[in-house]
């Protein structure tokens, strides 16, 4: 004999919504795994969420950090001013300037 459990219409609707949400998330995950990149979720014609793999975010963050360090190193080399071989005189006279 088959037994059916009684369920309120609200509970049944809630279970169906949850099942649908789970199916959608699984589909989004499969798309990201297959295609890579970002999945943008649009509601009412507007982008409201973006979904990405954490590993992708970590890789991009590491690359940005390396680029920043490289730029800082380049800037520090550009800002160094070479001092004259004899040192910097304490007082500079107009006669000392090259014209």
Q: Write the pLDDT tens digit of every residue in 55-92.
A: 888 888 999 999 999 888 887 776 666 566 666 667 77
Q: Is residue 98 part of a domain?
A: no
Q: Is residue 70 part of a domain?
A: yes
Q: Is residue 97 part of a domain?
A: no
Q: Is residue 91 part of a domain?
A: no
Q: Is residue 46 part of a domain?
A: yes
Is a pLDDT exceeding 90 seen at residue 46?
yes
Range of the domain at 55: 10-76
Q: What is the pTM of this model?
A: 0.42
Please count the structural domains in the chain. Answer: 1
Nearest to 37 by CA among 26, 52, 27: 52
Q: Is residue 94 part of a domain?
A: no
The first and second tokens of residue 59, run together, are: 């890789």
Q: Is residue 61 part of a domain?
A: yes
């Amino acid at each position: 004999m088959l037994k059916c459990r009684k369920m309120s219409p609200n509970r049944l609707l809630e279970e169906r919504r949850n099942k649908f949400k789970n199916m959608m998330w699984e589909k989004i995950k499969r798309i990201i795994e297959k295609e890579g990149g970002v999945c943008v979720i649009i509601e009412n014609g507007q982008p409201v969420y973006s979904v990405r793999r954490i590993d992708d975010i970590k890789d991009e963050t590491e690359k940005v950090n390396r680029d920043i360090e490289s730029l800082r190193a380049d800037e520090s080399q550009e800002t160094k001013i070479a001092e004259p071989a004899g040192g910097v005189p304490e007082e500079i006279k107009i006669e000392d300037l090259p014209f």
